[in-house]
Amino acid sequence: MIKKMLGLILGFVLLSYSVCQVLDSQDWVLVWQDEFETEGLPNPKKWKYDVGGHGWGNQELQYYTDARKENARVENGKLIIEARKEQYEGQPYTSARLVTKGLGDWTYGRFEIRAKVPRGKGTWPAIWMLPTVWNLGDQSWPDNGEIDIMEHVGFNPGQIHASTHCRHYVHHKNTQKTGVTQVKDAQDAFHNYIVEWDEKEIRAFVDDCHYFTSYNENKGWEYWPFFKDFHLVLNIAVGGSWGGMKGIDPDIFPQKMEIEYVRVYQKKNMLPPYKNASLPVEERVCDLVGRMTLQEKIALLGGTGFATMPIERLGIPELKMADGPVGVRWNEATALPSGIALASTWDINLAFQYGKILAMETRGKGRNVILGPCVNIARIPTGGRNFESFGEDPFLTSRIAVEYIKGVQSENVAATIKHFVVNNQEHQRDTINTKVDERTLREIYFPHFFAAVKEADVLAFMSAYNKLNGTYCSENDFLLLDVLKKEWGFEGLVMSDWGAVHSTIPTANGGLDLEMPNGYFLNEKDLLLAIQEGKVGEDKITDKVKRILRVMFKLGLFENPTKENPLLVNTPESRNLAYRVAADSIILLKNEKDLLPLKWDAIRTIALIGPNAALARTGGGGSSFVTPSYSVSPLQAFQSKLPSGIKLAYSQGVILDGDAIPIPTENLLLPDKDENGLLGEYFNNMNLQGEPILKRIDPKVDFSWGNQNPHSSLPQDHYSIRWTGRLLAPKTGEFFIDIASDDGIRFYIDDRMVIDDWKDHGIYANRYKISLEQGKIYKIKLEYYENGGDSVCRLGWKDNDDSLIEQAVKVSQGADVVLVFAGTSAHYESEGYDRENLVLPNNQERLIQEISKVNKNTIVILGSGSPVEMKSWIQGVSTLLQTWFGGAEMGNAIYDVLVGNVNPSGKTPITFPNSWEECSAADSYKKEYGTTTYSDGIFVGYRHYDHKNIMPLFPFGYGLSYTKFEYSGLILSSQKISEADALQIRCEVENKGLFDGQEVVQLYIRDIQASVHRPAKELKRFAKIFLKKGEKKTVDFKLSPQDLAFYDPASKKWVAEEGEFEIMIGSNSREIHLKTLFALDKNK
């Protein structure tokens, strides 16, 4: 149907007689079908649309529309394709052209479509097939072939045509192969239009009556291009070189082609095993890898940015990836609460739903691999990516991670657990050598990865940037081969972090399967040579490819390729999940005066103060940051929900780095003329080299291009920009120049470099303090480069004065209650760097101190990704909450907790220190360039505080409620167990307060006397329960002897020693309400 000329066709049409026969269908296997059972638009998992109105090479008059029910719909169990007379996009008619490309592609088979054709002059319905990949000859029509199952022109009622087209057999050479049969009632009744296609011939039928055959003459592709995947096309054309040859009757429209079903069969002997979805995954993997060339295998080992390389010859799809663990970082999406917030819920059911929603939005973006969860243990409270992960404890982390992964993979999206392993700091992360003993690895840093493999069947791992004991994690055989693949039996794929591969041969011989974002080391040139020289075995390459294919088959990508669906993004379900996690993650740390929940009858004026009041700090910085489809700040929530009659006041108090206003255009001058703006010079490299490919005047520098390029002449990534000009001071005084960027910048004033941050990182704010004189002009230059991911550069400034704090204090004095929203932001906590200290930045400590002096009803709400130091102000504050980076719904969640609509139930997943100096890593972090030694061993987090007998500011597992819970009735199933026994533990919890609420019941174990140093307690089980006021519930736990074991490096085994153990049940690691002893007796 690409091009037809009836006058030419008549010279070589085979006017055939139909021969009806009973076909033996026993060998045919149904591999694809659409029975059109669901009303509405055609199934998007089966049909796409060819769209446009350019004549389609045949002078056709219709415009093919995109997903428009007027032209394509399912009704009453039939697919309706309707041609209509109406002006649309410059064409006088509309219609639809449905295709299965990418959703249904086949080499050989039986294609059966039951249809009724339209009537009237000018209609040209067709059921036909086109190649999925155009790779022969001039890569166009007719070289790549066409198979017409049914064509009909309205001026010749009932005459059905079947044809094949190729370079040699084509109408303009008067050689086209066409068969014709007469179906008198084709416009009034349904008939089966069928083609059977194999390597020898293509046969056409109507109702199993054979009337045309096109034979393979074995003369090459010019005569027979029908040896590769083709897809179905269904359409009605209007007019055109053939359909309109005898004119168009405009009064007949609208006209419909109705289709009852489409069925595709393949014979068992013609269906490649890898395309047979009924076969086991391993059989399909082995079959497909056996069909691949070595070059194709190698091509699959290097990424293409955020995907794997498709192998079109074999129909191997892409694995399409997206950051990140706390929402889909692919344009706008729902910003989910940070990982540390999810862990603070201690709710495994929410973790499953979190993963499910994340996967749903991933599919909505047309992606099928999500790069999460992030499970780095929070060894240091200043860690840049603590907010992404699940805290300091391996058991809590494993429980949240397992359910998160199950939720993701329930939606046929692959989860990627990262970063394997000990990527617990961002400082020097690309090269740092992390020294860790094996027991510490096994007990603290491995368990959550192990659980992901054994309990969640996670499909993908991401290796870490750093070295482990001298060897990069991406080529560390102990990690990736000995432990992960051999000992744990992991069958999925291991990908590198972006740019974390450092070699070709060690990596190829090791356990890494996929280099991201590209094959800089794992590429055809280097690997073919290594294989030819015997330095890398092809079996190593084959194993990596099998793992990648295994993930594809488990996701069903060969049968159901991922398709973008915006309706799956920012759904009511997404928003509800974001709210529930945000609300349940909020931790009530202090409530000494019972100010919470707020009591409206005692409030006439409420003040919202602080840098985090008017902004929704949805997440931290770096690759996990999601551009939210929407977000609700605390101030917005109060403005929309506050009861009438209560006055709301607001004052910012301080400005955080990165929040400064862009330097206005009127304060910027070009280098050589008194016109406003800066001269921007844009380079297609990252080093400002050569001549710029673009020069323009930018009114100001306030750019957030996301993952797009600043201009079409620039590459998407790896470019640089230089802005030059002059700065006009608006007044005399001290200013902070504030520059937020992702990635590096250099800034010069009067030819002197004052900021040098020329390195890769997520969005980060640099600032420089300068004294300016009103009216004076200063020469400035800003240099910026981008090296992948998002691109951001903002040049701002702010006054260095106390006026904002003074304004906030004044507002607070007149309020009945003050809510201080303090904390950090994505400019302080981010991938690429650790926080410099635990102190609240930019005078926030002073802000809290000054406000709490003038208003005793001050409530501090901390929004950060990990703990902050509070010793300078906490004694003056009676009420304190931790809300983390709470995602899009954080404002609504905070409001509902403050007013009592939600009873806070969050518990700390990380110990809150009094100061940095008391932390377990204080003696080893940043002590040796290029190396960090985990001298704290297994004593991380609360294990360290117990071991050193230090009382933290807030312990692990801590969180208050508006109600009170009482624990009682601890019972064990036995006082002594053997190695084969399980121990049942039961206790009761009663809500003794005035509010319904949730409590997290935590079970810890202590080995009374061990042959090695062991922690004073270790979390082994927990349960989150809901209790109405006055309600009592029984909580049951079960322990196995494995829960009592430690890792013995000498024997390379987990060992549970005989003797007494203590069970401790409490509301946090320091408040133990119930205790008892039992014994492990191996001879019992």
Residue 11 structure tokens = 């010279």
Describe the chain by its helix, strand, coil percentages, rounded to 5.
20, 35, 45
Count of CB atoms situated within 10 Å of the CB of 1029 = 14
Task: Quote the radius of gyration of the chain (alpha carbons, Å).
Answer: 34
How does strand 471-472 pair with strand 467-468?
antiparallel
What is the DSSP track for 790-856?
A: -EEEEEEEEE-SSHHHHHHHHHHHT-SEEEEEEE--TTTSBTTB--S-SSPSTTHHHHHHHHHHH-S
Pick from 953, 877, 901, 883: nearest CA to 595: 877
Burial class (CB in 10 A: 0-12, 13-18, 19+), 45: middle
Euclidean distance between CA atoms 536 and 508, whole angstroms: 7
Euclidean distance between CA atoms 188 and 371, whole angstroms: 54
Active-site annotation holds for 497: yes
Q: Alpha carbon 196 to chain centroid distance?
A: 42
CB 240 within 8 A of CB 59: yes
Pick from 648, 652, 636, 650: nearest CA to 604: 648
Cβ-proximal residues to 721 (8 Å cutoff; 6+ apart), any chain: 680, 681, 682, 683, 710, 783, 784, 785, 793
CB 39 within 8 A of CB 77: no
Burial class (CB in 10 A: 0-12, 13-18, 19+), 138: exposed
Residue 942 structure tokens = 């609360």
Provide the residue type at 554 as one letter. Answer: K
CB 444 within 8 A of CB 938: yes
CB 437 within 8 A of CB 1049: yes
Euclidean distance between CA atoms 790 and 808, whole angstroms: 35
Residue 1001 structure tokens = 């019941």
How does strand 493-495 pair with strand 460-463?
parallel
Euclidean distance between CA atoms 1016 and 478, whole angstroms: 30
Residue of 143, 323, 347, 497 marked active site = 497
* CA dihedral of 326, 330, 334, 336, whole degrees rounded to 10: 10
CB 913 within 8 A of CB 381: yes
Point out the residues that are catalytic: 497
